[in-house]
Chains A and B, each alone.
Chain A
Amino acid sequence: MNTLEVKNLCTHFFTRAGVVKAVDGVSFSIGRGKVLGLVGESGSGKSVTGFSILGLVDPPGRVVSGEILYKGKNLVGLPEEELRRLRGNRIAMIFQDPMMTLNPVLRVDTQMIETVLAHEKVSREEARQRSRDALGMVGIPSPDERLKSYPHQFSGGMRQRVAIAIALLHRPDLIVADEPTTALDVTIQGQILAEVQKLAQNLGTSLVWITHDLSVVAGLADEIAVMYAGRVVEQGEVNAVLDAPYHPYTHGLIGSVPSRNKRGEPLRQIPGMTPSLLSLAPGCAFKTRCNRADAACDVMPNLDELSPGRFARCVHPHVGAEA
């Protein structure tokens, strides 16, 4: 059974200006120990997808339809207390900005021990031991002393390690990592990436790795889903997609000539802007920026399986002769 299956997820924000369809019919699944890279420009709905999985979408937002199956069990509409017992326990999350994720007025030990005690009836002493071990596991030197520190006494990279340690406390089945290395400098990014990958593999943890950086996904993910304006526009095995993207948007992200040496390059800017989700014209959301757009694109294309295991939402994909 898959660890996670998201089916047709729609999460909308009911703002005064109108309904923002931040996530509009997103589907993907992740097997045990697998890594899904969720890629897209800022504002494409990646974080909202992540929060939806944990049931942490706040008003005016709401999951309006779809299913989120964790080991076959639908989390949408689950009572809050049941969700709480899964959060941080079976499904954990790491946030983007490590400077903001830890509570500034609570010591690190407080913030770790409470996480252990939220889900297991163990003594404080045991909870402390577990916290210390987790800190050691993510490569924080002298964890015993560091436990007594406040967050501001750590560097950004170290804080993110603490957040990762917290996420790992209960050896979750799934971690949603929302751009956890974006705010860090490149060397630390690499270290943390390698660390998380190793830990996830050892523990058999599945990952949803959210990023706007294709180079990160290339080495890490098994599968990739590219999001644009709240929808998945391309999906498939990571190497296949990066080698020969079908969707013009993915194409633009990687560069016009798909070749392996383009891999690992940072995200390239595509001319134009992400459309406002409030005033989406009917049809393909990418058509304002797409060089292949024509009248056929005025009807929203489906996410079709263009070759085995490869999906794209486009009427003129880069496939076969057309590529």
Chain B
Amino acid sequence: MTTGAFVDKAFDHQAAVEALLSDYRRWGGDDASGVETADAVIQACRQRGMAANVLHPLAGDLDFARAVVADGVQPAADGALRLPGACGHPAVEAMAEVFGQIRFLNAQCRELGRRLLLQRQLLFCFKVVYRSDEAQEELVSVLVDPLTEEAAPVPGLTGAQDIGLDGGAAWQGYALKRLYRSACGHLERLLAARGRRLELAAQRRLERDMARLEDYYQGLREEALEPLARELHRLEAARNRARLWRAIGIYGAAPAAEPQESRGAPSESATDRELSALEARVQEVLTALAADRERRIQELKAKYTVRAEAALVAAASVWTPRVEVRVKLTGPTRREIIFFYDPIRRRCLDLSCEACQAPLKEVHLCARGELVCPRCFAPCAACGKALCVSCVPARCHLCDAPLCGSCGTACPLTEPLAVAGTAPAAAGPPRHVCHACRERTCGPCTVLAQFLAV
């Protein structure tokens, strides 16, 4: 959760500062005299409360406890978890919704028990600054679970209760560092998304400035080249005139004397020299303009690039509630499982497909006792035996259907062949084929194999 949303114009800053100061004084902040300006109030408050150790409000919520573990839990249909009764408590409703979506598709489920546990998590509060040609700041809090090292934005913790201020519950330094790094990693992903809006806004400003600049330099180029182009025309005309006169001199009746105007005209080679000098000048002008333009574009880009900077301002150890559920499943085999529900993140922990790690909603139990998702469940195509992708012994080499050990037949073509004049094919493991494919395809290939073997 963002604890400081972007720009709230109606927000009365002065009133908020006054309220802050009055709380600071009420709670006996040291030396509150002389603390008057907003800056001083903020500075004074920053001297305190860097770390806390608290009970999450939900952990002390008896209604929640009762609803999720004991009184309110309702009997369930086969293949489902028991649900808490509708009671209007948002955390309970959320849990009911998550549990309601869990279905055991090929097993009966009987709950052996539920407990409410406490799990210590770490709350990290960051101050984040985004800078481009302006600055935006916000507070972002991230809660990290030491078990999974997963981080999540947190809803408010209003009403949290202090526990163990005596320092009994200190953290291990190395664990702290690891959890802090997970929090940073999470923050990075979060900020990339948030920063995009600012980047887009800065990008729009950049584009507007760039368009203006491009237009300007286009104009500058045209204006710079205009006199040069006139000069070029003049020189080309002069060269043509010189050529023309020479042609007359060679082919026509040689003029007794060169005409008046051609005497003043430059010779052809002089004109060429002038022309190439002119070209060089054009190049020079264009290069200078290009360099100038490039410099300004870099200047603009530097101005509008968005950068973020995050600083940890406070952290708290938060004791959060966790629901432990023990369930006995009876289906292709029997198994007892334990999983947890995290009411803060509103999801189950330790209830994921044992083949692909996806969170489980529709659950299959395979014959070997694994819990798998519908995508990883792979019952035998012939006899329907409950198999999964990690325990299926064979697949049909033609249609890829899963096959149990007793339903797959070896494909005759898998046998190494000895064809006259050719090297024998490398011997692989025996291939399996399902009944249907064997009927349809392997029949003919068996005949072929027999023929070739002759």
Real binding pair: no
Chain B residues with CB under 8 Å of chain A are none
Chain A residues with CB under 8 Å of chain B are none
